[in-house]
Amino acid sequence: MAEYFIKKGSEYFAARDIFDNKGVLLLGKGQKVTASIENRLRRFGVYEQEVPDNPGSRQSVAIPSCDRQSAMLYETAEELKNRLNIRNERIFRVANDILGNIIFSSREKPWWIYVNALCNYVGWIYTHSINVAIISIMIAAEMGYSEEELSYLGFGALLHDIGKLLVPKSIILRSENLTDAEMSLLRQHCELGLSSLESMSLSRECLDIVAQHHEKLDGSGYPKGLKGDEICQNAKIAMVANVIDENSSSRPYRQALPIDVIVWNLRTEKEKYPQELVAILEKVVGFRHAS
């Protein structure tokens, strides 16, 4: 077989991680190539062909590995799926495919420097960005968004915390309570993110998510204290997705909460969060609110 595989006895093993062209991990290094895995590789672009210098024999040709940013998508998405008990496999795959396309197509764009920086600044910020994008796309897919609309939403959600790159890492990683001055600086990340991206001719849908994902319906959010319909629909979706992932993940400053507790909190704060989106989220994660 080709350099992507190693033969041990009569069995074959992956010589390296193999990804499809969207950055999804198909086969991990050292993993045995079983019949089911072989079928999966063929389905996603790994195929057999004749060896030119050895008629009658065949070799496998694999899709080249993608960049590290894309490669992290698969592992992060699977962890999210298990953590939130996501049961709608179709919508989960739609979200993964769209986000994979976004990351892959961004490699030749000016904003790639920010995607790359997110991946390398603080590890959990990039995984959080992926998770918020996936959750946002799944909610919007349930709402009937078109593929183009899902792409705009997913891109904005992926970059929603880009302003944190301009916040000192010591504040991001702080395990104890922040001072008022440090909290004020942290809360500037929405406006810092917006100012970083405004020169790149991005869509209004993307920029609004970056600027508004911490606003609340009752005006208690930041940075501008927007209320109700002053907040765009995509930012409302990202707002809910952000709360879900932020609170269901462990952070240096607190422990993760169970998904049912988080949803209950969203339900009890009806004045802050759009309840129609919370209801859609419940459907996506397989959680049912007790009425």
User: What CATH number does residue 104 fall under?
Assistant: 1.10.3210.10
- Between 41 and 50, residue with greater pLDDT: 41
Mean pLDDT value across the chain:
84
Pairing of strands 25-27, 11-14: unpaired
| pLDDT score, position 10 | 72
The residues facing 59 across adjacent strands are 49
Kindly report, residue by residue over 168-197, the tens digit of the pLDDT: 988 988 878 899 999 999 999 999 999 999
**Shared-domain flag, residues 121 and 184:** yes
**Shared-domain flag, residues 75 and 25:** no
Q: What is the mean pLDDT of residues 208-225?
A: 98
pLDDT at 209 over 80: yes
Q: Determine, yes or no, domain membership for 290.
A: no
- Between 55 and 121, residue with greater pLDDT: 121
Q: What is the mean pLDDT of residues 8-37?
A: 72
Q: How far apart are CA 240 and CA 243, in angstroms?
A: 5
| pLDDT score, position 7 | 76
| pLDDT score, position 272 | 98
Q: Which two tokens stand for residue 209?
A: 């998510």
Kindly report, residue by residue over 146-165, the tens digit of the pLDDT: 999 999 999 999 999 999 99
- 46 — phi, psi (to 5°)? -95, 125
**Shared-domain flag, residues 257 and 169:** yes
Q: Which two tokens stand for residue 57?
A: 């024999």
Report which of 286, 288, 248, 249 is spatially closest to residue 91, judged by C-alpha positions: 286
| pLDDT score, position 129 | 96
| Owning domain of residue 137 | 68-285
pLDDT at 291 over 50: no
Q: Determine, yes or no, domain membership for 291.
A: no
